Structure 1
């Protein structure tokens, strides 16, 4: 095999982009994600500018998480009942309207923090309905064997936006203020709406006749009880995020261990950018993800690499706490960032494969609800980790809290492998039709 052929096989699999509907959604996602990140930065910045209180900024966690959980679960139920194109059109329009309202309140000079928080909550509700619907429709427009590649491409865009958006916002804010950031977000969302309008009708196979209620949400969880492989795809992610996501400690680690100023600085920025940067690099070189057949085993190994990367980062923090000169501290900071980038690369591969498992193995009339659970787990796990790591660090210090969390992650997935061997054994066949059959069998 030539070097060119090997490189082609290593980089991201772009075959899903040959499908026009997916290509339009993906390209729109690039534009929209950067715009969305501008609002993500602008909202807490405006709240702090208006109040001077980090306590009010902290309320964005509550006002964001509650609608994300409620509407993530119920939005998935809606996506399993109504035409998914219609759900996307309504939720995308809702995102446009809320972004426009953010722009309007800023343009009018609003300083009422509760208005901002309520707008943020409504926006998160529309986002929570939109996300599981977008994920649930992929198996309707792409063959099963391209789902890992498609999910990897989408997650790479998301992580790249998580890096580029704050950088752009940081540069723009001193010159433009909040109003322009909200305006750009509003305009970019029309690109996504255009891609959604061009989708075909996407009715749900086997949808019930009644409008879904709480019973429908519960039925989604009941479905998981009889699908151990799908259930474990959530459990292993929760273990990884709850035990080994030390982002709440980054400000303290940057200041106390790596000598950065208390208000931020280079060390602070590097720590926060490390995992998303690793995820982007992992996404760029994700060609192997499409070829992976032993998906359960690959997910376990990816989470093990994630846990090991966080554990090694914790060890660099411990060494930095005893460093005697700035050069050693800088070297340890570089090593710590490298270990977290490796963890980020492993995490994006794990997430892409786990989402593909849900899309391929679940029945069409429960895909939306399972993707809703996926959205809640992905968003909720790190927030639980913030609380646990913050409390643990107050007792044992940041180095032990980080290293211990990584080790607990390794122990947790080892127990999962022993208790649910069917997850480790889960495989797919890389030919089109057999892939679906193999997925269904493995899930049961």
Structure 2
């Protein structure tokens, strides 16, 4: 590998080098300090709406100890080449060919969000080529609610509903309820919204292809055997903490950590703490819980619950589910609610099954209608999730949830039944032992 020995953050905007692997173009930048040329390089694989410049802080930090390679596979990052025929495994298969062409025997790898799946797939199928694997915001298999979020983004983008698509994308990446804790409101949210609104046609097409790959992905049947760090924000509502924990428990040599006061964007919202965690793991340091992150023991990871916000019980519970295409409304009662979803009871018991999308829940107490997806329907009982496609309405909704006068005081937070939790833990234990 020929490294640039004179790194500056400005160079991350330069035209990358290109390597042809068959019909596929791989774009990259490679940097090192002279004293680290002998070390195993660290490869960065990005997620949605990210590019080389997104990692300027991390690159600067890692260069103190490792050569760094920033990699854009076809349709990833700023690589304009479309690759609809490549699935996640197909993308991962290009990496060893890239390493061979660059005379790199082995590499460490950081995979962020979407990039974590490609990085994991590479580590699983090419264990001799991976040193240490660092994953931020991952999951073994997308839960139904996550798939519905991805499907909604896909539909909005493909239908040309770009304003709603952009607002929805921001709400997917940033936990809008906990912005006071994460610091991702205000400027951060506006910048991401502007970036998504300005996507060119080719960039939206790449988004559609990448989203289709995620929807077509059936989940991992094997897991990395190399030393692996799995981390995300403790407030990540996209790839939730318990999903990251379960992935780590299935790996043979995994460390699991949560970044404090961070969501899915932890690597950017809590750069210093996340980078310190990643660097320590990459160097092989003994990791201990610090002020910015928590290292979880196995039993603690198993005990993580699949909910990061309490369910509130409203005093005024009257609501209506509206079918947006026909305008038909179904009266209902809100049993409990939070920023991400609600549990409602329909007034009539002889209703037909609701469609998965193109629905709104009208909350009468504040005269606000929000788009929803149905996650589960059992007779007249419906569990739904909110799809925030208008950030101004989402903020009105958040203020409602934060106003104690609307809710029954000290409402307990429903949790999984103990027997359900134990069964889930036993299944994870069996899977981890088998692997």
TM-score of the pair, normalised by structure 2: 0.26
Higher strand content, 1 or 2: 2
Higher helix content, 1 or 2: 1
TM-score of the pair, normalised by structure 1: 0.25
